Every structure is written in structure tokens, then in C-alpha cells.
Amino acid sequence: MKIPRLVFFLLYAHFSTGTVVLDARATEGPVLRVEDCYMLEKVAINVTNSQCDFIISSTDGHLGSVMFTIEGDSDEENIFELQYISPPRTSDTVVPIYLVLKQNQVLSYETTNKFNFNVNVAGASEKVPVAVYVYKPPAWTDGLSIEQIEEEQENTIFTISAAPGDGHPLSDITIELIDSTFQQIEVGQWNRNTLEIIVPKIDREQQSSFEIYLEASYSEHPRASAVRTIGVLVTDVDDNPPTIQFNHNKSVEVTVPLNATSVVVTNVKISDPDLGLHSEFSVSLKSPDSLRPALTVSPATGVGNETIDIIIDPTKLVEDDLTWGTFALELHAKSVNNENFEDSVPMTVTLYKEQSSGSASLGTTSAVLFTALVQCWRYL
Ligand SMILES: [Ca+2]
Ligand SMILES: [Ca+2]
């Protein structure tokens, strides 16, 4: 039943700067003012996230008791309803009211991208037509999910872009850097839906990969957003020499049978933290002529991390030249692919007879021993 519109005049006085202003307005029943509105697909929409905010007014107040019914051809009465954030007070004459989805309802752009229906406001003279457009969140348009950057570069810049999703009339997208597992990452220039990501100089040997978390949203509707994770791989450059490290922190003494052919007197660790070809190295031992044939390293080349044995073969000691005593050596590790990268450490080998009697007739008397004492000057 239609309620007849009540019309009467309200007079009130407004005091301002000493001037009395008289205003006269007609009271009228509830009036719903609406605009075309947009709803994000696949999201439960309630008064806290609805972007469809309308205005209901009545000079009579009592808005809390106004009834709304939705009438449409596509089951809209079971999809939509109007809700206040909180019940209006009896004296309220103008309050916002939100178009929301009923419980368990979500919209799909592919199913229906536009609704047209009427809202019938009890006490109002006319039905109010409403159009609801369904839209998708922003969509990422370019940039790979995995980026590669080279280590030791001053600043590497790549760009990430997003575009409005289907159905959305706005073109302004904001892309934000939410987080990154490489904290020094920076945001560069913002240029119309495209964001520059700046990666400062990074040492691959400290951090070989990281992730960047981004969010794209409509500038005016920040809740309609798309998130994205980008993995960044740091590619290697040959920026480290091989380094030699002894496995022990004092001199090593080994007793060697004179007829033995291969005795490990010590070993060292040689490591190059770069990748693949960038970590290949060769190892050599500089020693006096009398020791050179007898002292070798094995293996003589390595990749990455290797344990290198220093081996003595007494049968190759030159008998005539053999002098018991201390000999200075130098162990070298040289990068195979970068001649500027080399490490070396000084060492000494002291050879002395284990048995004070008897001769060290080399290579013939298995009972005769000697001792090799190896010292180096780089400890753990
Ligand atoms: Ca290297
Ligand atoms: Ca490197």
C-alpha cells in the first residue's frame, strides 16, 4: 500500500555572525540515491568492503524501519540486498546504505558481467533503477615470474606492469612492493601501471636468489588487488680467487719408509666459491730441484672445493743431492680461467733421518725410515 506523501514546512532559525537565516523545506518520504556501481568478482561483499554505497534520506527520520525490496529478471532479489553499517537513529535523516551480496553469493564476470534491477523503497513514489557491473582484479601484463640478474652490477632495473581486469572502467593501477627476501631492494620510477624494481649490487656468494612480493590494485579501489611473487636468480661472475687453507693448525710430522712410493704428508683444502668454470683451479708446488721429482700434489686441478694431498715419493729423491734439512716450498692455487686470481702460501719440509745409525740408501733398504716435517704459515 502506498503511503501518501506528507508535506509540511519546517521553519528553523540559524544564528550565524549575528544574522538570522530562515530556511523552509518540504518534508518527504524516503529517497534512495544510487549510482552505477562495480563489484569485484569472486569476493564476498558486505558493508565493510562494498564499493556500492548509496544514500537514503528522509526528512522524517525513522530510516531504520524503511523496507527495501529488489526486483529484477535475473534472480537479483536472491543475490543482492541493502544494508546499513549500523542501524540508523530515529533522528537520522541522511545515512549511507550499502549494496551487498547475500550470504554465500559471489559474482563471476564470465557468468554475468552486468546486472540491471530496481529497488523498491517502501514509502517512496518510484522504483530506483540500479546497474551493477562485475569486474576482475588487475592483471599482470608483463615481466617474468623468474628474473635473472648478474652479481656485482651496480644497479639492475627491471619493470613490472599490470592492467585493469575485465569490466573495470578505471585505468589507474598502483603497484606496491610488499616485501622482499633481499632487504636492499628499492622501488624506482613509477610510470603508468609500470613499476621499476631496482636491485642494488649483490654478491651471489652471499645471496644467490631472493623473492619479491608485489601487489597491484586499482588506485581508487585498493581492495581489488592481485598479488604476485617474482623469484630472482643471481647469476655468477668470476669474482673470487681460489684460496688455500690447511686442515691443521700446526706442523705435521710423517714417518716415511724409504722404499715407499707414495705417502701423503699433509693435505690442504682449496676452495673457490664461484660456480662451474668460474671455480676451476690448478695446484702446483714450487720446491728445490732436489725435492721436486719427489713432491707432488694430487689432484693437480679442482673445481669448487677440493682436498689436495701433498705426496712424497722417496724413491724419486735424488740420492746424490739429498740433503737432510729444511726446504722452503710454496703452494700455489691458480684460477684456470682468470690469470689474475692466484693464491699461494709458504711451507717448509724438514727431512731428517729417523734412525741415527745406518745409511739412508734410498730406495733399497726398506727398514730405513725418515721423517718429513711439514710446516705452513696459514692456519685455520
Ligand atoms: Ca673464481
Ligand atoms: Ca661469483
For residue 55, give the CATH number of its domain: 2.60.40.60
**Which among 101, 134, 167 is the end of a domain?**
134
The residue among 219 and 35 whose pLDDT is bigger is: 35
Who contacts 335 (Cβ-Cβ below 8 Å, separation ≥6)? 238, 241, 242, 272, 280, 281, 341, 342
| Cell reading at 28 | 518527504
Residues 199 and 86 in one domain: no
Domain that holds residue 294: 243-376
Give mean pLDDT, residues 271-278: 96
Q: Same structural domain for residues 17 and 99?
A: yes
Task: Please compute the mean of the pLDDT values over residues 9-27 and round it to a whole number.
Answer: 39
List CB-based neighbours of ion ligand 2 within 5 Å.
204, 236, 239, 274
Residues 315 and 287 in one domain: yes
User: What is the tens place of the pLDDT at every residue in 66-101?
Assistant: 999 999 999 999 999 999 999 999 999 999 999 999
In this predicted structure, what is the pLDDT of residue 262? 86
C-alpha 306 to ligand 1 mean position (Å): 14
| Count of domains for the chain | 3
According to the model, what pLDDT value does residue 320 have?
56
pLDDT tens, 322-359? 556 778 889 999 999 999 999 998 888 877 766 544 44
Task: Answer whether residue 4 is part of any domain.
Answer: no
pLDDT digits (tens, 9 = 90+) for 296-328: 999 999 999 999 999 988 888 765 555 567 788
Residue 2 in any domain: the answer is no
From the CA of 277, the nearest ligand is 1
- Please tell me whether residues 251 and 351 are part of one structural domain: yes
Band of residue 380 on the pLDDT scale cut at 50, 70, 90: very low
- Can you name the residues that pair with 379 across neighbouring β-strands? none
- 257 domain residue, yes or no: yes
Separation of CA 274 and ligand 1 centre (Å):
5
CATH number for the domain that contains residue 156 = 2.60.40.10
CA pair distance 352, 67, nearest whole angstrom: 109
Tally of CA atoms within 13 A in the half-sphere of 366 that contains its CB? 2
Query: Which ligand lies nearest to the CA atom of residue 234 in the structure?
Result: 2
Distance 210 CA to ligand 1 centre (A): 22
Structural domain includes residue 41: yes
Q: Do 356 and 251 have their domain in common? A: yes
Q: What is the pTM of this model?
A: 0.68
Ligand 1 mean position, distance from CA 248 (Å): 24
Closest CA to 113 of 136, 129, 130: 136
Within this chain, do residues 30 and 53 fall inside the same structural domain, yes or no? yes
Burial of 375 (0-12, 13-18, 19+ CB in 10 A): middle
